[in-house]
């Protein structure tokens, strides 16, 4: 059996970094970890081939070779996924689809022969048993949340690693918090499940053995969801990094209670974490209570973010406007809040109701759902009737994004970040680091509207915190991408 695993293309989103990948001679930010993991679950006698259409086009020869075409997608990838599945169907191939994009409205995908819905460790064995006997059903689904001891090491051999900025691994699934707008609990449960330290270290070692020596993204819903277990794992990871001369710089996602645990932050710094994404959402206490983000209500974010920066981890933040308690004043509040706390990479989006979330259920019962959503939370679209009105919400949002990513305000945030940042990440400088800096001198330092701000920042960093230079240059380059994204949102 020849199995072709195809990953659909992303549009140019906040996290795609498409416009600046050339600075480091890469083609995509992250690999398709889900498909690589599924590939490792397929029978060993099957031939497997991966096409990530973010890196290379799907050729007719790929489809001719295949017996089955397996597609995994998130909502934002659906336009590309539909084209891929249509081509596979026209080529007479068996089409198998899975991933978050296929959790509802399955009748909209007539090209698909078999749906795999749920966590693959539970669903795939039954499907493969039936498929190999010629009696496979249309739908295979399970709401069971399996032990992650069942998860195999991803099939790294299918990947051309040098095409990517970062590799991805997963330590845990699930989150102890149940925010109204978030679909993590619906998909992965509220009880965080983790891989044991031995299993996780085998996976880390497999990446090293495959030749990888750059950034690694631990893609968990909330890396610190089970603090007791993560503190058992981190010393093992830190020791491995030390023995291997710190080949990986790590980043992940976590909740803001990270800032309350000095021991945990010190452990993460020792393990070479240098970035962490936190869902900050809003400065409005009423809106935080509304969406069930209780862990954020009592947090002094200026202090919390500064404390995390002092432990060598740059905070990237998620922010939302459009809660029922938001008024027209929220846009100014958000701007002042983000500038004050110094979160440079501030992904701010309009609230949308993801299928099967508590928010989606509530809005449906209130008759306020308007239609489907794109899955892209920075595209200035909304799929429900907001209290402040769609026009006011989207107009305010566009102006907010434009202000946040204007060169002056963006560089002001970098300066605020730099004032508290104490770099701790270790590792060798690689060729792409030098390449990116040299390209930034032209693209940002000469050809962009931020050129004067760029040179002032570079000089200030060299004189005051030279170890932070690589982080600052990266932010300057990313500023080009964020400016383009903001212009698209504003319709410029």
Q: Kindly state the average pLDDT of the residues 326-346.
A: 97
Please give the average per-residue pLDDT across 7-24, as a whole number.
Answer: 93
How big is the chain, counted in residues?
492
Which residues pair with residue 70 across a beta bridge? Answer: 5, 96
**Distance of alpha carbon 274 from alpha carbon 478, whole angstroms:** 16
pLDDT for residue 471? 96
Under the banding of pLDDT at 50, 70 and 90, the label for residue 377 is confident
Residue 491 pLDDT: 83
Rg over alpha carbons for the chain, rounded to the nearest Å, is 22
Q: What is the mean pLDDT of residues 203-225?
A: 97
Task: Kindly state the percentage of the chain with pLDDT values over 90.
Answer: 91
The pLDDT of residue 355: 87
Q: Worst-scoring range by mean pLDDT, 79-83, 186-190, 286-290?
A: 186-190
Measured CA to CA, the distance from residue 444 to residue 456 in angstroms comes to 12
Give the global pTM: 0.95
Three-state SS at 433: helix
Distance CA(60)–CA(238), nearest Å, equals: 45
Q: What pLDDT, in 10s, does the model give residues 40-59?
A: 999 999 999 999 999 999 99
Q: How far apart are CA 319 and CA 348, in angstroms?
A: 4
Residue pair 453/411 in contact (Cβ under 8 Å)? The answer is yes
pLDDT band with cut points at 50, 70 and 90 for residue 453: very high
Residue-wise pLDDT tens digits, 234-289: 999 999 999 999 999 999 999 999 999 999 999 999 999 999 999 999 999 999 99
Mean pLDDT of 465-484: 96
Handedness of CA 453, 459, 465, 467 (dihedral sign): positive
Residue 145 has a pLDDT of 95
CA dist., res. 316 & res. 223, Å (int): 15
Q: What is the mean pLDDT of the chain?
A: 96
The pLDDT of residue 404 is above 80: yes
**Percentage of the chain surpassing pLDDT 70?**
100
Q: How far apart are CA 66 and CA 2, in angstroms?
A: 5
Task: Give me the numbers of helices (H) and strands (E) for the chain, helices first please.
Answer: 18, 14
- Poorest-confidence range of 14-18, 85-89, 249-253, 477-481? 14-18
Q: Average of pLDDT values for 375-386?
A: 86
Question: Per DSSP, what are the bridge partners of residue 384?
Answer: 369
What integer pLDDT is reported at residue 53 of this predicted model? Answer: 98
In this predicted model, what pLDDT tens digit does every residue of 110-158 receive, in sequence order? 999 999 999 999 999 999 999 999 999 999 999 999 999 999 999 999 9
**Which pLDDT belongs to residue 294?**
87
Average pLDDT of the residues in 456-472: 96
Sheet containing 68-72, strands listed edge to edge, beginning at the edge strand earlier in sequence: 47-52, 2-7, 68-72, 94-98, 114-117, 139-141
Provide the Cα torsion 188, 120, 226, 375; round to 10°: -40
Distance CA 291, CA 279 (A): 12
Q: Are 18 and 81 in contact (CB under 8 A)?
A: no
Burial tier of 353 (Cβ tally within 10 Å: 0-12, 13-18, 19+): buried
| CA pseudo-torsion sign 302, 304, 307, 308 | negative
- Report the pLDDT averaged over residues 455-471: 96
How is the chain split among helix, strand and coil, in percent rounded to 5?
50, 15, 40
**How confident is the model at residue 375, as a pLDDT?**
78
């Amino acid at each position: 059996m020849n199995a072709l695993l195809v990953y659909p293309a992303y549009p140019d989103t906040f996290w795609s970094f498409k416009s600046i990948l050339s600075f480091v001679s890469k083609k995509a930010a992250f690999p398709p970890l889900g498909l690589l993991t599924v590939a490792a679950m397929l029978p060993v006698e099957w031939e497997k081939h991966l096409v990530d259409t973010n890196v290379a086009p799907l050729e007719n020869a790929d489809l001719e070779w295949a017996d089955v075409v397996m597609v995994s997608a998130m909502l934002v990838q659906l336009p590309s996924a539909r084209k891929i599945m249509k081509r596979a169907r026209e080529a007479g191939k068996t089409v198998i689809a899975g991933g978050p994009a296929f959790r509802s409205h399955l009748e909209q995908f007539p090209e698909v022969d078999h749906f795999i819905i749920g966590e693959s460790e539970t669903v795939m064995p039954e499907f493969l048993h039936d498929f190999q006997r010629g009696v496979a059903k249309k739908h295979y689904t399970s709401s069971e949340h399996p032990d992650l001891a069942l998860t195999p090491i991803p099939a790294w051999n299918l990947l051309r690693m040098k095409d990517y900025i970062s590799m991805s691994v997963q330590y845990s699934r699930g989150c102890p918090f149940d925010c109204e707008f978030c679909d993590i609990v619906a998909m992965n449960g509220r009880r965080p499940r983790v891989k044991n330290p031995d299993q996780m270290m085998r996976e880390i070692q497999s990446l090293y053995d495959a030749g990888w020596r750059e950034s690694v993204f631990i893609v968990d819903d909330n890396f610190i969801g089970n603090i007791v277990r993560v503190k058992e794992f981190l010393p093992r990871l830190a020791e491995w990094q030390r023995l291997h001369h710190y080949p990986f710089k790590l980043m992940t996602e976590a909740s803001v209670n990270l800032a309350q645990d000095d021991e945990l932050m010190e452990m993460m710094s020792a393990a070479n974490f240098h970035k962490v994404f936190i869902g900050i959402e809003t400065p409005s206490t009423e809106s935080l209570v509304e969406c069930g983000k209780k862990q954020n209500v009592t947090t002094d974010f200026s202090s919390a973010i500064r404390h995390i920066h002092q432990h060598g981890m740059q905070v990237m933040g998620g922010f939302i406007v459009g809660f029922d308690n938001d008024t027209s004043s929220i846009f100014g509040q958000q701007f002042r809040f983000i500038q004050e706390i110094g979160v440079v990479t501030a992904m701010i989006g309009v609230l949308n109701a993801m299928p099967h979330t508590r928010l989606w259920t509530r809005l449906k019962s209130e008759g306020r759902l308007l239609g489907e959503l794109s899955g892209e939370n920075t595209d200035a679209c909304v799929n429900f009737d907001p209290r402040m009105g769609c026009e006011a919400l989207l107009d305010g949002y566009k102006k907010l994004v434009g202000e946040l990513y204007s060169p002056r305000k963006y560089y002001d945030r970098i300066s605020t970040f730099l004032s508290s940042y104490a770099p701790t990440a270790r590792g060798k400088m690689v060729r792409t680091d030098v390449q990116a800096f040299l390209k930034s001198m032209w693209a940002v330092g000469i050809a962009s509207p931020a050129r004067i701000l760029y040179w002032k920042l570079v000089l200030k960093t060299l004189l005051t915190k030279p170890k932070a230079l690589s982080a600052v240059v990266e932010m300057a380059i990313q500023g080009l991408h964020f400016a383009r994204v903001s212009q698209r949102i504003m319709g410029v």
